[in-house]
Structure 1
Amino acid sequence: MDKPCRGLRRDAERNRQRVLAAARELFAVKGMEATLNDVARHANVGVGTVYRRFATKEELVEALFEDGIDQIAEIAECALQHENSWQGLVWFVEQLCELTATDRGLREIAYSKAYGGYRVQCARTRITPPIAKLVQRARDDGYLRADIESTDMPIISMLAGTVSEWAGHVEPELWRRYVGLMLEGMRHCEHQDPLPVAALGHSQMDEAMQGADGG
Structure 2
Amino acid sequence: MSFVSTVTGERKLRADAERNRRKILDAAAELFALRGIDITLDDVARHAKVGVGTVYRRFSCKQELVDGVFEQHMADMEAGACAALAVDDPWQGLVDFVASTCEQMAVNRGMGEVFFSCDEGREQIACARERVAPLVEQLITRARDAGALRPDVTANDVFTVAKMVGAVIDFAGPIAPDAWRRYLGIALDGLRSEGAARTPLTEPPLTDEQVEAAKVAAAGRG
TM-score (norm 2): 0.74
Q: 1:33 aligned to 16, 34, 38, which one? A: 38
Deviation at 1:122, TM superposition (A): 4.2
Q: 1:86 aligned to 72, 88, 91, which one? A: 91
Cα deviation digits, residues 171-191 of structure 1 (max 9, x gap): 121111111111222222249
Deviation at 1:4, TM superposition (A): 4.6
Q: How big is the alpha-carbon RMSD for the aligned residues of Structure 1 and Structure 2?
A: 2.6
- Residues 44 and 147 (structure 1 numbering): CA distance in 2 closer, same or farther, change over 3 Å? same
Which residue identity is paired with 2:46?
R
Q: Which has the larger radius of gyration?
A: 2
Deviation at 1:52, TM superposition (A): 2.2
Equivalent in the alignment of 1:49: 54
Extract unaligned runs of 5+ from structure 1. 192-214
Cα deviation digits, residues 116-153 of structure 1 (max 9, x gap): 43658645422111111111111112222212222222
Deviation at 1:156, TM superposition (A): 1.5
- Asked if 1:153 corresponds to 2:158, the answer is yes
Q: Name the % identity.
A: 46
Equivalent in the alignment of 1:203: none
Deviation at 1:64, TM superposition (A): 3.0
Runs of 4+ deviating beyond 6 Å: none
Q: 1:117 aligned to 105, 116, 120, which one? A: 120
Three-state SS of the structure 1 residue aligned to 2:60 is: coil
Cα deviation digits, residues 14-69 of structure 1 (max 9, x gap): 33233222212111211223221221222233333322221222221232343332
Which residue identity is paired with 1:33?
D
- Asked if 1:104 corresponds to 2:109, the answer is yes
Q: Select the structure with the greater relative contact order (CA < 8 A; seq sep ≥ 6).
A: 1
Are the equivalent residues in 1 in contact too, given 2:102–2:165 (CA < 8 A)? yes
> C-alpha distance in 2, partners of 1:118/1:48?
21
Deviation at 1:93, TM superposition (A): 0.7
Extract unaligned runs of 5+ from structure 2. 197-221
> C-alpha distance in 2, partners of 1:83/1:190?
21
